[in-house]
Amino acid sequence: MLLAEELALVAIDPESGRHALGTRDQLNACLAGLLIGELVLDGAATAGRARRTLVLTDVPADGLLAAAADVVSEKGPRIKAVMSHMSRGLAARTGSGTWDAVTGELVRRGVLVADDAGWRTGFEFIDVSARTTVLDGLRDAAAGDAALDARTAVVLSMTGPAQLLEVIAPERRNRKHARRRIDHALDDTHLEPIGEVARQLLAEAAAAVAAASVAATAVAVS
């Protein structure tokens, strides 16, 4: 299972069939980071920490990672440019933006079935144990103090900007420790720039929304 698929599983609430926390933009940024992280961990790309760059060294044979590699090839080498373009790039290649492309893979694998009855596609879990396994692993990682393997670390790091802290640490008393583990999961690793860029993109998007709101209020008052 791809790292991005693991995050999508955690984000989807089994009861509602939709992501209960986090906006689609936040999830898309984090899923893009995980697709890039997977390419790096698989040896298909290398990430430069100093300049936050990404260099493609191999191309996966097919599937979603191959499409993500095409986006890297098109928009590289800056990680920020690649992540900013990932959803549009995947849509051009697969017909779906990042969230829909990732959840589509889970449907194809037989983990989810899509429900198009509402205004936004929801999902029913065919195999909820897949989510339970991923979530239990992330909760253990967030609650502990032991060193993390690279795959767990990068997924855990993205649960923060994806606004999934309450899912990873459902009990309030555990959230301070979990937040610290999430925020520092990629410290001093070759994947650290990916986490940094995801947070930067979301901070810039939030600042732009806030500025637009202030401008609109000023116009209304005047």
pLDDT at residue 198, as a whole number = 94
Q: Is there a contact between 145 and 41 (Cβ–Cβ < 8 Å)? A: no
pLDDT at residue 205, as a whole number = 83
pLDDT at residue 81, as a whole number = 97
Q: Is there a contact between 84 and 58 (Cβ–Cβ < 8 Å)? A: no
* Residue partners of 201: CB distance under 8 A and separation at least 6: 29, 80, 83, 84
pTM summary value: 0.92
If we measure between CA atoms, which residue out of 58, 39, 15 comes closest to residue 151?
39
pLDDT at residue 21, as a whole number = 64
- CA distance linking residue 180 with residue 100, whole number of Å: 30
24-33 pLDDT, tens digit each: 889 999 999 9
Q: Mean pLDDT score of the chain, rounded to an integer?
A: 92
65-90 pLDDT, tens digit each: 999 999 999 999 999 999 999 999 99
Q: What is the mean pLDDT of residues 36-44?
A: 97
Whether 213 has a pLDDT exceeding 80, the answer reads no
Q: Which residue has the higher pLDDT, 211 or 138?
A: 138
If we measure between CA atoms, which residue out of 24, 185, 13, 22 comes closest to residue 102?
24
* Domains and their CATH numbers in the chain: 3-221 (1.10.3630.10)
94-118 pLDDT, tens digit each: 999 999 999 999 999 999 999 876 5
* Local confidence band at 121 (pLDDT 50, 70, 90 cut-offs): confident
pLDDT at residue 214, as a whole number = 62
Percent of the chain past pLDDT 70, that is, above it, reads 92
